[in-house]
Structure 1
Amino acid sequence: MRLSARVDYALRAAVSLAGYGDQWVSAEQIAEDQGIPRKFLESILLQLRRGGIASSKRGPEGGHRLARPGEDISLADVIRAVDGPLVGVRGERPEEVTYPGSARALTNVWVALRVNERNILESVSLTEVATDHLPATVTKLLEDPDAWVVRGA
């Protein structure tokens, strides 16, 4: 799985907002907290607002905050807001991709991959990341020594 810089920054910005709770926080503060380029962050915050993840308010008392409680927003919600569906193959949904002959079963592999990604990304909330209290289903996966081994070149 590859996450774009946009998705990485969006997740970090959303987690940062979760850490502030109901407080309004400036884009400058989020950029500083997370080391995100300010111009890039402004674009991401716009996508998060359009996706119903964040809200904003102008003025000296304004800024940005989550549109709903962080425990009600999953990592998958954020990814979908800025990048669309979790798994795509050549820009299509996995179940819509077909292959001829002996490669036919690849469609099933892509759908299974999407299920596994959903199982993790939909089970982890912004608040859980912000407070470093990940669900047991995720921490159990991290206990496998192979989880930390990089394979391939």
Structure 2
Amino acid sequence: MKLTKRGEYALRTLIRLGIADRQGEGVISVSTLADQERLPFKFLEAILFELRQAGYVESLRGKHGGARLAKPAKSIKMGDVVRLIDGKLAPIGCASETEYEKCSCPDEEHCGLRMLMIDVRNAIANILDRYTLDHVVEVTLRKQEQQAAATRKTTAKKKTSKTLHADPADGFLAALLSPAI
């Protein structure tokens, strides 16, 4: 599975709308969403259209119009959104439950690669289907608060630039399992 830019932008948009909902902000204009998430406006409009068609988002027109969640964040599974936008979760077609494709392997039933990729698909699906938008919003807000608290503590110290990398300690599960502030 490779998350496309479209999939990434859709998830980031839903997370931002989930944060807005949690914080009582209500409707967010498309231009504000595009600016806050640094997304191309026209691309975001197309993504919002797809999310609206699937029932995840609703749009309001007018001077104070924009987008908001159409259903509770607790009912939006991350795996469902990824499948909607990017299709199958399996890295290869013969390991997919939803978009199976026959492979060129001479013995698909006993193919070690297929069995491995089924396990990869299952691991991805188990994580994405276990967590809802509400979980991701909770972790995001918790991480922001932890960062704000750390910044307040180091206000008197000289700022240093932090190099970002994929540290396992920064993962979703690590953040979800860490105690709340």
Same fold (TM over 0.5): yes
1:1-153 equivalence runs, <5 A: 1-21=1-21, 23-87=26-90, 89-90=92-93, 93=96, 96-98=101-103, 99-101=105-107, 104-132=111-139, 138-139=173-174
1:112-153 CA-partner distances (Å, limit 9, x unpaired): 21111111111222222223269xx9228999xxxxxxxxxx
SS in 2 for 1:122: helix
8 Å CA contact 1:120–1:138 kept in 2: the answer is no
When the two chains are superposed, the root-mean-square deviation of aligned CA atoms in Å is 3.0
Say how many residue pairs are matched.
Answer: 141
Moved over 3 A (4+): 94-98, 140-143
8 Å CA contact 2:95–2:117 kept in 1: the answer is no
TM-score, with length taken from structure 2? 0.66
Q: Unpaired segments of 5 or more residues in structure 1?
A: 144-153
Q: How far did residue 109 of structure 1 move?
A: 2.0
8 Å CA contact 2:93–2:101 kept in 1: the answer is no
SS in 2 for 1:64: strand
Quickly say closer, same or farther: Cα 1:111–1:140, change in 2 above 3 A.
Answer: farther
Q: How far did residue 92 of structure 1 move?
A: 8.0
Q: For the residues of structure 2 that align with 1:139 and 1:48, how far apart are their CA atoms? A: 29
8 Å CA contact 1:18–1:126 kept in 2: the answer is yes
8 Å CA contact 1:7–1:83 kept in 2: the answer is yes
Q: Unpaired segments of 5 or more residues in structure 2?
A: 144-171
SS in 1 for 2:130: coil
Q: For the residues of structure 2 that align with 1:64 and 1:142, how far apart are their CA atoms? A: 31
